[in-house]
Chains A and B, each alone.
Chain A
Amino acid sequence: MSLLELKNVSYTYGAGTPFEITAIKNINLTIEKGSFVGIIGHTGSGKSTLVQHFNALLKPTEGQVLLNGEDINRSKHSAHEARFKVGLCFQYPEYQLFETTVYKDIAFGPTNMGLSEEEIKARVLEAAEFVGLTDELLNKSPFELSGGEKRRAAIAGIIAMRPEVLVLDEPTAGLDPSGRKKILSMICEYREKTDSTVIIVSHSMEDVAAIADKIIVMNKGQVYKYGDVHEIFAHSGELASLGLEVPPVTNIFLKLKEMGLDIRTDIYTKDQAEKELLRYLQKEGIAW
């Protein structure tokens, strides 16, 4: 069942002025309910513009955005409602915290939804648990938290709206390897527990390949490819030619292929890599 659909969507910044730039053109996408989609693309490929259409922050200059079959831009009210159904978390979300306590900040979204005090409390506590924030931290000022805690608090603020679709723009930006792992596994857990649809925008193909089921590859404002992860990596050489950084592990196989070995290149996780390397050695009669 299609949850989010984009029909012929185009967006031009500064339309009608001498500075107009068409950021995205003729986007046709269907995102199924419950899927886990990764959006990759070079800087300037239109990723950020694209995701701001999902929650009606941007209204397409052409085309339609449908949520559950209805145009989210049909009225100001529907656009406003779309923000609660599609939760968009921007890059470096920790820079948007403002309330006097972490609790109140997480409650901002639910409060804007007009929910009752009890409902808000339930959601805030639920969201805080998802991201691993203790009750003690909820009573502190957000500015007293560490960088990692702040980011989790900001993400909790979106989760507390219980959106049908959770969109995260570069959730691992600026984090070290263990920080990245923690955030990504937190997102996976969230998805499993709530059965929601999750969309991640990332520069790290490695991150995306590890957790998403489908990938949208953006290139110069258009959808270059949209498919299952293994379909996308079936032609990993192409991705490299688009200027994208393939996962380091994929690089190994692209290089081995260059060196003349008859080896698969549609590898994108280390487990797959290990299997394929052993398979190759067995084929060559070197290992058993």
Chain B
Amino acid sequence: MRGTDTKENLIPIIEFKNACFSYDSEDMGAELSPAVKDINLTIYRGEFVAVLGHNGSGKSTIAKMTNAILRPTSGKVFVEGMDTSDEELEIKIRQLVGLVFQNPDNQIVSTIVEEDVAFGPENLGVPPAEIRQRVDEALKTVGMFEYRFHEPHKLSGGQKQRVAIAGILAMKTDCIVLDEPTAMLDPVGRREVIGTIKRLNKELGITVVLVTHFMDEAVLADRIIVMNDGTIVKDGTPAEVFSDVKTIKESGLELPIGANMAERLKKSGINLGKGILTAEDFATAFSQFVVNNR
């Protein structure tokens, strides 16, 4: 069913092959160090991948390279075998991989919510009746259907972001990449958006790539890619990634709260076991430990 059930069912959807990207510099002759270098990465269908890194680690650059917003300055990025450097394939690529940005305001084009969600399908020349269907469905999926006639500027950050996500859903892309979608939101907005993202992957089977610097968001993914200084320094399950404390610290990141407290107790000789990441994990492991050792 989902692309990662068994090794044989892994179908690549996005592939980075020795990809590098450097932003242009106005300074004459200054050799700007590349934003990302030698990226070799494959995202498989149905996965929920988190790209984790501090600000400036290159994670946003990666996000923009997944759908040809940015083209690699060397190396290649393929979406279902299509080369993102080929301008002719741009539209097709963007119908497969949708991108949600960080600033909720700067993604909304229309003065009415449902018209904004219709923007993508309208650009694709989808027949009006079908656009209507897609828009209603997309808004219901993100929980914003009651707001369809509202003016976007009156919505909260979390609501705006969900409208932006609906706009991509209406394009029926197979994969959604989200570039730090919660960085500008308050805690309530973050919860709403992350909850929506989880559902998209678990219930609708959409491949999700979540670029973030929040550990508590990264732990929700099936797979975490850690970036530091423009390169990938770790690629594995959350349990694998967060047990490599050294790499985490070197990358300017922190352990999620459960892993953090488990590490601290380990130093005092208390070993609660493996795979402890969240507060729930820790509470469960700790009370189990207490029961086992009474």
Is any CB of A less than 8 Å from a CB of B in the complex? yes
A residues sitting closer than 8 Å to B (CB atoms) are: 42-43, 147-148, 173-179, 203, 243, 245, 248-249, 251-252, 255-256, 259-261, 270, 273-274, 277-278, 280-281, 284-287
On whether A255 and B280 interact (CB within 8 A), knowing A176-B54, A176-B55, A176-B213, the answer reads yes
Is there an interface contact between A148 and B186, defined as CB atoms closer than 8 Å? no
Give the Cβ gap from A200 to chain B, nearest Cβ, in Å. 15
Is there an interface contact between A147 and B55, defined as CB atoms closer than 8 Å? yes
**At the interface, yes or no: B124 with Cβ under 8 Å from chain A?**
no
Is there an interface contact between A273 and B261, defined as CB atoms closer than 8 Å? yes
**At the interface, yes or no: B279 with Cβ under 8 Å from chain A?**
yes
Shortest Cβ distance from B294 into A: residue:
A284
Question: Quick one: which of A148, A177, A255 contacts B213, CB cutoff 8 A?
Answer: A177
Is there an interface contact between A252 and B268, defined as CB atoms closer than 8 Å? no
Name 25 interchain pairs, CB-CB below 8 A, sorted by A: A43-B156, A43-B188, A173-B184, A174-B183, A175-B55, A177-B54, A179-B54, A243-B188, A248-B216, A249-B279, A251-B279, A252-B261, A252-B279, A252-B286, A255-B279, A255-B280, A259-B287, A270-B261, A273-B264, A274-B264, A274-B265, A278-B265, A280-B290, A284-B290, A286-B290
**At the interface, yes or no: B29 with Cβ under 8 Å from chain A?**
no
Which residues of chain B are near A260, meaning CB under 8 Å?
A: 287
Q: How far is the CA of A274 from the CA of B286 in the complex (A)?
A: 12
**At the interface, yes or no: B187 with Cβ under 8 Å from chain A?**
yes
Shortest Cβ distance from A204 into B: residue:
B187
Which residues of chain A are near B54, meaning CB under 8 Å?
A: 176-179
Q: How far is the CA of A248 from the CA of B279 in the complex (A)?
A: 7
**Chain B 157-171 near chain A by CB (<8 Å), digits 1 or 0:** 000000000000000
Is there an interface contact between A286 and B293, defined as CB atoms closer than 8 Å? yes
Which residues of chain A are near B258, meaning CB under 8 Å?
A: 252
Q: How far is the CA of A42 from the CA of B183 in the complex (A)?
A: 17
Which residues of chain B are near A203, meaning CB under 8 Å?
A: 186-187
**At the interface, yes or no: B254 with Cβ under 8 Å from chain A?**
yes
Which residues of chain A are near B55, meaning CB under 8 Å?
A: 147-148, 175-176, 179
Which residues of chain B are near A148, meaning CB under 8 Å?
A: 55
Question: Quick one: which of B253, B268, B282, B286 contacts A177, CB cutoff 8 A?
Answer: B253
Question: Quick one: which of B187, B264, B268, B286 contacts A256, CB cutoff 8 A?
Answer: B286
Shortest Cβ distance from A250 into B: residue:
B279
Shortest Cβ distance from B26 into A: residue:
A144
Is there an interface contact between B257 and A248, defined as CB atoms closer than 8 Å? yes
Shortest Cβ distance from A91 into B: residue:
B184
Question: Quick one: which of B156, B257, B293, B294 contacts A252, CB cutoff 8 A?
Answer: B257
Question: Quick one: which of B213, B261, B294 contacts A277, CB cutoff 8 A?
Answer: B261
Which residues of chain A are near B156, meaning CB under 8 Å?
A: 43
Identify 17 new A-B residue pairs, CB closer than 8 A, beyond the known A248-B216, A255-B280, A259-B283: A42-B188, A176-B213, A177-B213, A177-B215, A179-B55, A203-B186, A249-B257, A252-B261, A255-B279, A255-B283, A256-B287, A274-B261, A274-B264, A274-B268, A286-B289, A286-B293, A287-B268
Is there an interface contact between A286 and B261, defined as CB atoms closer than 8 Å? no
